Amino acid sequence: MTNRRNFIKTATIASVAVALNSFKAEAEENELPAIKKSVRKPIVLSTWRFGIQANEAAWNVLKNNGRALDAVEAGVKIPEGDPEERSVGYGGRPDRDGRVTLDACIMDELSNIGSVGCLEFIKHPISVARAVMEKTPHVMLVGEGALSFALTQGFKKENLLTKESEKEWKEWLKTSQYKPIANIENHDTIGMIALDTNGNLSGACTTSGMAFKMHGRLGDSPIIGAGLYVDNEVGAATATGHGEEVIRISGSNLVVELMRQGHSPQKACEEAVARIVKLMNNRKKNLKDIQVGFIALNKEGEYGSYCVQGGFNYAVCDATGNRLIDAEYFLKS
C-alpha cells in the first residue's frame, strides 16, 4: 500500500515535472523569434554611395567588438579625406567666396555631443567635433574659434580647395546664381549611424554643405537634432539634402521620437518626409526643387529610409555584407 502510494506520488511529481518542462520548452520556443530579432548587431548605415567605402572602415571597428563611436568616426573620415568626393571635407565645393567651410557633428550612446560649423582648413572636421565633445565644456564651436581650437589640438592647417573645385567655383561666378538642384548639384553629406556588439548606438555627420552657399551659412549637418540624433534607448537617425528643410522640422530628432512612439525606422522616416512635404505645400514651395533623405536605425538593428524624390541611396553593412540600397521616395512624378 505504502509502496503503491509512493509510486503514485512519484509518478505524479514526475508527470508534473514533464508537463512543466514541456511548458518551459514551449515558452522558450515562443520567445525564440523575439530573441533572434534583437540580435541584429553590429550594423552600420550611411548615406549615399560613398557610404559603401565608409561602411568598410566602420565595419573594421565593429567586427572587432569596437565602439560604435569609434566606428562612425573612422567611417566618415574616408570621404572627408578623399579629394574626389566634392561634397565632404578635403576637395569639397567652396562657398560663394571661394572658401571651403565644413560642418560636422558627432553623438554617442551617453548623449555626449560635439559639433563644428563653418570650419576652414581642417581635413577632418568630424575629429574636431569629437574633440569639442571630449575636451571642452561646450558642444559647438564655429568659424575662427573652431579653427583656433583645432590648431591647439594638433590638427594641421591645410588648403582644402582643390583645382577642380576652384575651377567649378570660377565657372559658377559667371552667373552667381544660387539654385541648388536636387540630386544634380552634388552637395551630399555623409551621415552614419551604427549599433555595436554591446548594443550601443552612435552617429556622425559631416559635409562641405551646399555648394556656393553664403559665407557663414550653416546647414543641418552640424546641428544635433537636425542632421543627426542618437538616443541609446530608442535609435538613431541622420539626414542629407536641403539642410534648411531638415532644420525646419528638427528632422533627425523627429525621426527618433517617432521611433520612440512605436514606429518602425521606415515608417518614422516616411512620417518625417511627410512633415516636410506638408510644410513645403503650406509655404507654396515646389517640392521638386528640394531633396531630403533620412536613414534610421533602432535598438533592435532594424533600419529604414525615405526621401522626398528618387535618386537617394544609402549603404548598409552587417554580418551579411555591405550593400547600396535605393531609398523609397514620396514624389513619384
Minimum gap (Å) between residue 251 Cβ and ligand ASP: 10
Q: Are strands 328-331 and 303-309 parallel, antiparallel or unpaired?
A: parallel
Which of 91, 243, 251, 301 binds ligand ASP (CB under 6 A)? It is 243
| Residue at grid coordinates 591647439 | 152
Instruction: Name the nearest CA neighbour of 102 among 70, 134, 77, 65.
Output: 77
Between 62 and 140, whose beta carbon lies closer to ligand ASP?
Answer: 140
Instruction: Mark residues 180-219: x for contact with ligand ASP by CB under 6 A, - for none.
Output: -------xxx-----------------x-xx--------x
The question of whether 189 is a catalytic residue gets the answer: yes
Owner of C-alpha cell 512620417: 271
79 binds ligand ASP (CB under 6 A): no
CB of 214 to ligand ASP, least distance (A): 12
With 0-12 / 13-18 / 19 or more C-beta atoms within 10 angstroms meaning exposed / middle / buried, residue 173 is exposed
Q: Does 240 bind ligand ASP (CB under 6 A)?
A: yes
What residue spans of the chain are helical by DSSP H?
2-37, 51-62, 68-81, 125-135, 143-152, 163-173, 243-248, 251-260, 265-282
Q: Which of 46, 115, 162, 221 binds ligand ASP (CB under 6 A)?
A: 221
Out of 47, 101, 162, 189, pick the active-site residue.
189
115 binds ligand ASP (CB under 6 A): no
> Of 232 and 240, which CB lies nearer to ligand ASP in the complex structure?
240
Give the integer Cα–Cα distance in Å for 147 and 215: 15
Minimum gap (Å) between residue 242 Cβ and ligand ASP: 6
- Compute the least distance from the CB of residue 172 to ligand ASP, in Å: 16
Residue 299, Ramachandran bin (φ over 0: left; ψ between -120 and 50: alpha; else beta): alpha
How is residue 191 written as a grid cell?
A: 551621415
Residue 298 corresponds to which cell in the numbers above?
A: 533602432
Name the residues that contact ligand ASP, by CB under 6 A: 187-189, 207, 209-210, 219-221, 240-243
- Write out the catalytic residue numbers: 189
